Amino acid sequence: MSGLTLGVLGTSSKENEWRLPIHPHHIERIDADLRARITLERGYGERFGVSDAHLAGMVAAVVTRDEVIAGADIVLLPKPTLPDLEFLRDGQVLWGWPHAVQDPELTQI
């Protein structure tokens, strides 16, 4: 099955932002065909006691933040800030919920 790839980030440059877009214990609930196109950032499940090795068995890969961004068609990152966007390439999709009121520069991108 072909389709877009999803890179899921677990870190943000937003101060004190610790939320994850998908709870690590819920990843196994996603259809296996879709999980095969998901890449997670290394350390994604650590705060919940879920190891990279465990997650790697359910998704396409667990890699560095840079590798997630470089390889994904869609980057999933809640609360992105302007510094988070500098690594995205033209045509890449950012899926998140930016706080544009708190970060007016973000609205100019």
Q: What CATH number labels 6-108? A: 3.40.50.720
Q: Residue 32 has what pLDDT?
A: 97
Alpha helix (H) residue ranges in 1-109: 32-35, 52-56, 65-71, 82-85
Domain residues of the chain, as ranges?
6-108
More confident residue, 53 or 78: 53
Q: Residue 1 has what pLDDT?
A: 46
- Hey, which bits of the chain come out as E strands? 6-8, 38-41, 61-63, 74-76, 93-95
Compute the mean pLDDT over every residue in the chain, rounded to the nearest whole number: 92
pLDDT digits (tens, 9 = 90+) for 1-48: 479 999 999 988 888 888 899 999 999 999 999 999 999 999 999 999
Question: Model-level pTM?
Answer: 0.90
CA distance 79 to 35: 23
